[in-house]
Amino acid sequence: MYTLEDSFIEKTIVQEAEYLNQVYQSTGQWPSTRQGNMQLYFSKESFPEDIRQTSIAEPRRKEFYGHNNRHYHLHTLTEQPNTFLVAEVSADLLVRPIRGEIIKFLLMSTLIVTISACLIAWLMGRRTTRPLKQLAQLVNGVAPENIPEKFAHHYPNNEIGILATTLERTLKNMSNALEREKCFTRDTSHELRTPLAIIKNAVEVYMCKATLNNQDKQVLNRINEACQQMEQTVSTLLILAREENTQATQEATKLMPMVEASVINNHYILANKPVEVEIDNSCNITITCQAGMLKVLINNLISNAFQYTEHGKVSILFMDNQIIVKDTGPGIEAEISNKITEPAIKGSQSTGFGFGLSIVKRLCDHQGWQLVVTSDQGTTVSVTLS
Please count the other Cβ atoms lying within 10 Å of the Cβ belonging to residue 298.
23
How many independent structural domains does the chain possess? Answer: 3
**Cα gap 5→96, rounded to integer Å:** 10
- Strands (DSSP E) along the chain, which ranges? 38-41, 63-65, 71-76, 84-88, 251-254, 275-279, 286-289, 312-319, 322-327, 370-376, 378-384
Decide if 130 is inside a domain.
no
Same domain assignment for residues 243 and 254 = no
In a domain, 275, yes or no: yes
Q: What angle, 0 to 180 degrees and rounded to 10, lies between the N-to-C axes of helices 214-241 and 159-207?
A: 160
Q: What is the pLDDT of residue 386?
A: 77
Domain ranges, residue 287: 248-386
Res 71 pLDDT > 90: no
Other CB atoms within 10 Å distance of the CB of residue 83? 19
Report CA-CA distances (Å) from 322 to 127, 243, 289, 371: 53, 25, 13, 10
Is 322 in the same domain as 385?
yes
88: helix, strand or coil: strand
Asked if the structure places residue 338 within a domain, the reply is yes
* Residue 219 one-letter amino acid: V
Q: How far is CA 383 from the centre of its chain?
A: 30
C-alpha pair distances (Å), 246 with each of 223, 243, 284 = 32, 6, 25
Q: Indicate whether 191 and 156 sit together in one domain.
A: yes
350 and 295 fall within a common domain: yes
| Confidence band of 177 (pLDDT split at 50, 70, 90) | confident
266-307 tens-digit pLDDT = 888 898 899 999 999 999 999 998 887 888 899 889 988 998
Dihedral (Cα; 122, 125, 127, 130), 10-degree rounding = -120
pLDDT band at 372 (very low <50, low <70, confident <90, very high): very high
**Own/partner long-range contacts of 342-345 (Cβ < 8 Å, ≥24 apart):** none
70 secondary structure, DSSP code: -
- Assess whether 386 and 252 both reside in one domain: yes
For 26-38, write each residue's pLDDT tens digit. Answer: 888 888 888 888 8
Q: Give residue 110's pLDDT band: very low, low, confident or very high (50, 70, 90).
A: very high
Q: CB under 8 Å to 104, separation ≥6 — which residues?
A: none
206 and 254 in a single domain? The answer is no
% of the chain residues with pLDDT over 70: 83
What are the tens digits of pLDDT across the range 115-137? 999 999 988 888 877 877 777 77
**Residue where one domain finishes, among candidates 197, 232, 247:** 247
Query: Is 297 among the domain residues?
Result: yes
74 vs 16: CA distance, rounded Å: 12
Q: Tell whether 254 and 161 lie within a shared domain.
A: no
Q: Report yes or no: 301 and 381 within 8 Å, Cβ to Cβ.
A: yes
Last residue of a domain, one of 221, 247, 273: 247
